């Protein structure tokens, strides 16, 4: 029988209160979702060879892929995937063994590679590529492939980052109500 939330080598994903994982998503292994996080249709998240942590009120939108890098002699810690609070990961983004701070917007189709760090309060434009090990500094918009710092975020954009996460918390809550009513 298929289940969208599966263990790997005896380690089962951990879901905090009020988390939504769509039945068409797959999350496997050492993954922890904090309060009010949401995982939308067709997301594939594999915490099989390292850990994935997703913070409070963060959302991973349709078709995104989340993965990690195995520990090895040349990379003793490997590369876990760490996502902070109030993060919006746009549709079809790919995050691999990177760190995403708090209040970050990852645009649709963006790719973030091993060891990259997005500090707090960053917007990464749609279709952008963050190379391995690159650090995106707090308070800026980045776009391109490879991405480049374009300009400081406006006050309006900074205020939008937690609002984007709040929008998905509200949507997730509506989906949870629908699930409760249909069961």
| 6-15 per-position pLDDT tens digit | 999 999 999 9
| 43-78 per-position pLDDT tens digit | 999 999 999 999 999 999 999 999 999 999 999 999
| 138-172 per-position pLDDT tens digit | 999 999 999 999 999 999 999 999 999 999 999 99
Between these two residues, 182 and 88, which has the higher pLDDT value? Answer: 88
The answer to whether 59 touches 40, Cβ cutoff 8 Å, is yes
Q: What is the CATH number of the domain that holds 113?
A: 2.160.10.10
Task: Name the token pair of 8.
Answer: 């790997």
The C-alpha atoms of residue 160 and residue 13 are separated, in whole angstroms, by 30
Helix (H, G, I), strand (E, B) or coil at 97: coil
Range of the domain at 77: 5-182
The C-alpha atoms of residue 53 and residue 80 are separated, in whole angstroms, by 8
Structural domain count of the chain: 1
The C-alpha atoms of residue 111 and residue 95 are separated, in whole angstroms, by 6
Chain centroid, CA 2 distance in Å? 23
For residue 82, the model assigns a pLDDT of 98
Which segments within the chain are labelled E, that is strand?
Answer: 5-6, 14-15, 20-21, 26-33, 38-39, 44-54, 59-60, 65-67, 81-83, 88-89, 94-96, 99-100, 104-106, 111-112, 117-118, 122-124, 129-130, 135-136, 140-144, 147-152
């Amino acid at each position: 029988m298929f289940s969208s939330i599966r263990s790997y080598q005896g380690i089962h994903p951990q879901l905090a209160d009020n988390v939504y994982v769509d039945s068409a998503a797959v999350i496997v292994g050492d993954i922890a979702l904090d309060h009010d996080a949401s995982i939308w249709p067709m997301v594939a998240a594999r915490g099989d060879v390292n850990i994935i942590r997703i913070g409070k009120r963060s959302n991973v939108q349709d078709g995104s892929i989340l993965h990690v890098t195995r520990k090895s002699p040349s990379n003793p810690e490997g590369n876990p995937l760490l996502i902070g609070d109030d993060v919006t990961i746009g549709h079809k983004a790919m995050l691999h063994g990177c760190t995403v701070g708090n209040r970050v917007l990852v645009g649709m189709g963006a790719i973030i590679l091993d060891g990259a760090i997005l500090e707090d309060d960053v917007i990464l434009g749609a279709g952008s590529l963050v190379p391995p090990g690159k650090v995106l500094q707090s308070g800026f918009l980045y776009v391109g492939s490879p991405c480049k710092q374009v300009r400081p975020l406006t006050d309006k954009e900074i205020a939008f980052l937690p609002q984007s996460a709040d929008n998905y918390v509200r949507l997730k809550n509506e989906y949870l109500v629908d699930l409760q009513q249909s069961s």
